[in-house]
Amino acid sequence: MTASRCKQIGWLAIGVAFLLLVITPAAQAGSVKERMAARAPEILKLKSQGLIGENNQGYLEIRGAGGGNAAGLVKAENSDRQMVYKAIAAKTGGSVAQVGQRAAAKRAQVAGASEWLQKPSGEWYRK
């Protein structure tokens, strides 16, 4: 793993931890935070292999074949993301869709080289 990739992982972890600790209810934050942190290395591996990508709604999507446990991992991550987005929307007065779209834009900024991303228009591209 390159130094820049480690830095990206660190910033992503900090961002997720901040959202979960500050915005989600305290009783829920620990378990969601732990689950997402535990999945992060495998998600990054699948992204770097081009097997999954970040869509424009703030969720993961399967992009390639042969991902092994990718479907289960994507489903679990997206479920937790939706829980976080709902909590943020409730706190900010926005919609879950708006929160997800903002999260997608932030993830696109810190995505690693060759990761799949989806533009707001729906077009997929590799960074």
Q: What ranges do the domains of the chain cover?
A: 3-126
Residue 26 has pLDDT above 50, yes or no: no
Closest residue by Cα to residue 15 from 25, 3, 5, 23: 23
Residue 16 has pLDDT above 70, yes or no: no
Q: Which residue in this structure is represented by tokens 């990761």?
A: 115
Instruction: Describe the strand order of the beta sheet including 60-62 as a list of residue ranges.
Output: 60-62, 52-54, 116-118, 124-126
* Residue pLDDT, tens place only, 27-45: 455 689 899 999 999 999 9
For residue 65, the model assigns a pLDDT of 75
| pTM for the whole structure | 0.76
For residue 30, the model assigns a pLDDT of 63
Token pair for 49:
């292999």
* Residue pLDDT, tens place only, 98-119: 999 999 999 999 999 999 999 9
